[in-house]
Amino acid sequence: MSPPRRRSNSPMSPNSRPTTISPRWSGCWRRKTPPIATERDVSGGLRLDGREAVALTRLALPIIMARIGLTLMLVVDNMIVGHFGTGALAGFSLGLVLVQTMQTIGLGLLLGGMVEISAAYGRGATEECGRIWRRSLLYALVIGAGAVAVADRAEGIFLALGQDPALAAEAAWVAAVIGWSLPPMLCYIASIGLLEATGRPYVGVVLLAAANLINLGLNLLLVHGALGLPALGAEGSALATLAARLALAGGTLFYILRLMPERRSLGRGRWSDHGWRAGRRQRRLGYAEGMSMGIESGSFALLTVFAGQIGAVQLAAYTIAVNINMMLFMLAVGVGGAAAVRVAQARGRHDGGAMARSGATGLAVFSLLMLGVALLFLAVPGAVTALYTGDPALAAATAPIVALIGFVAWIDGAQRVIANILRGYGEAWAPTTSHLVSYVAVMVPAAWALSLPLGLGALGLILAIALASVVATGLLLARFRYLAARPLLIPREQEITWASS
């Protein structure tokens, strides 16, 4: 006797309508079915949920702390080097922008693994989480090796972009040293995705706190010179960051492999984990996000080049503003990362309503958080600027930008939160297209026009960032509203599994 079947309401061709299986017959139904899409009307629209806000905030707090910990390392570098000298800060910032661009691209390429780990964990497939993580580690090493090769040729890149030869030489040394920190840094990024998805985000926070203490101590020793050591300036800060990142990656891998309670349920490594077809979906999401973040980060790097063409003071002022924006952007990365985890876990449960609520709640939480931050920076720009420099000329150029940077970071961060939400939906190319339009077609030309011909300098560059972020946020929000309003599509084989659970 064959099990009873009922027709789905899917708007597909009559000859290929999918089937949902009664739970009573799930034990004897084992026929393999093709991955045809089916619909369940579980789209909830854009509604806020108080309980979801609490759950998302609990997840977002350690992620924010972890992402701020990553950025704090570079903020400390900039503060200490900035007090060493304006010229040293200009060289350090130019070298760092190349490395940060490659790190951002690597982060994007690895994001597919983070999203897929969350979805697998939502399905209860812990061993699959382990397979995805091991693939991500291999990808991190390959991407990091490529980044080291590029950083080794930094001086030629800077000279080709029209930078001063002395500035290019110092920046190239910084880029070459910090470039070697990218393989361990990307391994940490791949691993923190596993810890966050499996409910252990505070482990990454503790490890980052230790790494930041190492970085701070070595900066104090090497930049200004202490305990009889020579003052190395920007080069000393680069060496401190390299040592701290090596310690961070080593500690994270040691915890997962030796101390993590779920380490055995992650399975053992096999060559089949790294099969090309096995990581296809993971790479597809990673390619799209890598290109998206590469477009965004590369466009910001061009703005640094524009600032360098204006002069050392404007470059240093822009560096301070972007450094603050980068720190505030980590709030968006943290809230967006938590929202992506919640959305992806709901996708793993095939709950479209929860996906929409998690996304809308994440955006609301971020907006409330950034409102307070923006008002704070508007109130005390001089005090914030004093943390970075004691140079009166540099402080005068920087303070007006710092007063606006909170609002710019709010708009800039909103597009990142929505982009992460779309990744949780499994979207690959919508954020990439948005960034291509907003950052390449809008921000770069506007930045050049405002900073150079119109003479606004670093302020013009910041205004161009705000303009591009408004465009990106509008495009991504429209896509999110469309996805939240339509029924969720589920592969037929997953629908049968869901119905039988």
> How many Å from the N-terminal Cα to the C-terminal Cα in the chain?
22
Q: Could you report the per-residue pLDDT of 286-306, keeping only the tens digit for each?
A: 777 777 777 777 788 788 888
Tokens coding 288: 């799209």
Mean pLDDT of 272-290: 67
Tokens coding 65: 């702390």
Give me the pLDDT at residue 231, please: 80
Range with the poorest average pLDDT among 34-48, 247-261, 391-405:
34-48
What is the band of 18 on the pLDDT scale with cuts at 50, 70, 90? very low
Q: Could you report the per-residue pLDDT of 307-317, keeping only the tens digit for each?
A: 878 887 888 88
What single DSSP character describes residue 2?
A: P
Residue that wins the pLDDT comparison between 181 and 126: 181
Give me the pLDDT at residue 355, please: 82
Does residue 29 register a pLDDT over 60? no
421, HSE (Cβ side, Cα atoms, 13 Å)? 34
Residue that wins the pLDDT comparison between 474 and 127: 474
Mean pLDDT of 112-132: 77
d(CA 388, CA 81): 9
Give me the pLDDT at residue 92, please: 85
40 phi/psi in degrees, rounded to 5: -130, 130
Give me the pLDDT at residue 75, please: 82
Range with the poorest average pLDDT among 174-178, 190-194, 366-370:
190-194
Give me the pLDDT at residue 180, please: 93
d(CA 373, CA 378): 9
Does residue 4 register a pLDDT over 70? no
Domain ranges of the chain: 50-280+298-499
The angle subtended at Cα 438 by Cα 432 and Cα 424, nearest 5°, is 35
Give me the pLDDT at residue 213, please: 95
Give me the pLDDT at residue 27, please: 37
Mean pLDDT of 425-439: 79
Does residue 458 register a pLDDT over 50? yes
Note the pTM of the prediction, 2 decimals. 0.66
Q: Could you report the per-residue pLDDT of 201-254, keeping only the tens digit for each?
A: 788 889 999 999 999 999 999 988 777 778 888 888 889 999 999 999 999 999
Q: Which residues contact 373 (CB under 8 A, 6 or more apart)?
A: 328, 331, 406, 409, 410
38 phi/psi in degrees, rounded to 5: -135, 165
d(CA 311, CA 309): 6
Block residue for tokens 């810890």: 195
d(CA 457, CA 438): 21
Give me the pLDDT at residue 387, please: 84
Give me the pLDDT at residue 242, please: 93
Does residue 497 register a pLDDT over 60? no
Give me the pLDDT at residue 414, please: 92
Give me the pLDDT at residue 214, please: 95
Give me the pLDDT at residue 492, please: 42
Please say whether the beta carbons of 191 and 245 come within 8 A. no
Q: Measure Cα distances from 225 to 12, 92, 177, 233 in Å.
A: 71, 17, 19, 8
